[in-house]
Amino acid sequence: MLPKVQRVRVDELLADRRNHHEATGCRGLREAGTRLTPLLASFTGSRANANSGDVSTLYVQHRQAAGLANGTINRELSVLGKAFNLGMAHGKVLRRPVIHLRKEAPPRQRFFKEQQFLAL
């Protein structure tokens, strides 16, 4: 079984994550699909056991250079982490890389003025 673990690719884990969403009927299937797309573009072909924290750091730098907010990048990284967790549960990987999330902007305050809210 160990030789198979050495050949598992990250895109296989992400495909398993998509299949898990479809099989369980998770409410966020469409949203997860949009988060899987950039992950697949970055990690297709890379071996899962070769991924370490520095790989996720490079991914973050690439996504920040594309102008994405830290919150968006964190959601994508959480999908990657959950894919590794699922791979561990299925015996496809032996460990999950450490993925450091980035500090996010504070939530918006007072989207409505009080009078507008009371009018609703």
Q: Could you tell me the CATH number of the domain that includes residue 95?
A: 1.10.150
Tell me which residue of 103, 90, 95, 22 sits closest to 60, measured CA to CA.
103
Are 43 and 8 contacting, i.e. CB atoms less than 8 angstroms apart? no
Identify the residue with better confidence: 33 or 101. 101
CA 110 to chain CA centroid, nearest Å:
30
The domain of 15 spans 2-103
Residue 61 falls inside a structural domain: yes
Mean pLDDT over the full length of the chain: 84
In the chain, where does DSSP find H-type helix? 2-7, 10-24, 29-43, 53-65, 70-89, 114-119
User: What pLDDT sits at residue 34?
Assistant: 86
Distance CA 81, CA 9 (A): 14
Confidence at 110, pLDDT banded by 50, 70, 90:
low
Residue 33 falls inside a structural domain: yes
Any bridge partners for residue 9, and if so which?
47
The pTM of the whole model exceeds 0.85: no
Residue 82 falls inside a structural domain: yes
Cα torsion angle, 77, 15, 19, 97, sign: negative
Distance CA 56, CA 73 (A): 10
pLDDT at 80 over 70: yes
- pLDDT one-digit tens code per residue, 22-59: 888 776 777 777 888 999 999 888 888 877 667 788 89
Query: How many structural domains is the chain composed of?
Result: 1
